[in-house]
Amino acid sequence: MLDHRNLLVTFRDYLVAMDALHLRRFLDGFDWDLRSRELAAESIPVVRHLQPIKARDDLLAVLARHANNLHWGRTYSPADFGDHFLQNYGWVELFGSRGHFASDEMAGGFLVLGPGVDYPDHHHIAEEIYVPLTDGSFWSKDRGAFAIRKVGEVIHHPSGISHAMRTAEQPLVALYLWRGGPLSEKPKFQGDTP
Ligand SMILES: [Fe+2]
């Protein structure tokens, strides 16, 4: 089985090299010496979008190399947002309460959205950081206007704040971190029962 520690080290080095206030706070004191978990490879349709992307940095290139051996997941069912969404949405937890490496303190991994996807407003208790690894995606926070985001921007979602993403022609690959709340919580949407 492919050793994913190379992906974990590249993920860590990518973040450590960035200089952003919220990110520094997330990473402060975090021990990256994580125990690996044996997870079977699990592919989902959205993974098809990864290979054709021209990687502009090491992290995306290493992710693409590992993609077929990772345990990809989806939080939703067709009843939530329909079939187009499920064919063009997915994530992999590199580390966290259920990922390829074990941590109860922080979760981290990758979200992938295909073109033409609308990920509606949602929120969760954990504080979150996203860093897009591709250009051309649109992000809304606290029900504000959608803004286009570029590779390497740090997008911070405080605990419980509403956020939404949209893609247009380009797929989105983004690194994510969760900290300070239940690491496997299913996000809540407007209209959900509390
Ligand atoms: Fe989120």
**Any domain includes 65:** yes
Number of domains in the chain: 1
132-173 pLDDT per residue, tens? 999 999 999 999 999 999 999 999 999 999 999 999 999 999
Where residue 77 sits, what CATH number does that domain have? 2.60.120.10
pLDDT of residue 43: 95
**Any domain includes 97:** yes
Q: What distance in angstroms lies between residue 128's CA and the mean position of ligand 1's atoms?
A: 6
Q: What distance in angstroms lies between residue 105's CA and the mean position of ligand 1's atoms?
A: 17
Which residues constitute the domain of residue 144? 5-26+40-181
pTM of the model: 0.95
Q: Which two tokens stand for residue 156?
A: 């911070």
25-60 pLDDT per residue, tens? 999 999 999 999 999 999 999 999 998 887 777 999
Per-residue exposure over 119-155, b if at least 16 CB sit within 10 Å of its own CB, e if not: bbbbbbebbbbbbbbbebbbbbbeeeeeeebebeebb
pLDDT of residue 51: 84
What values do phi and psi take at 90, rounded to 5? 175, 165
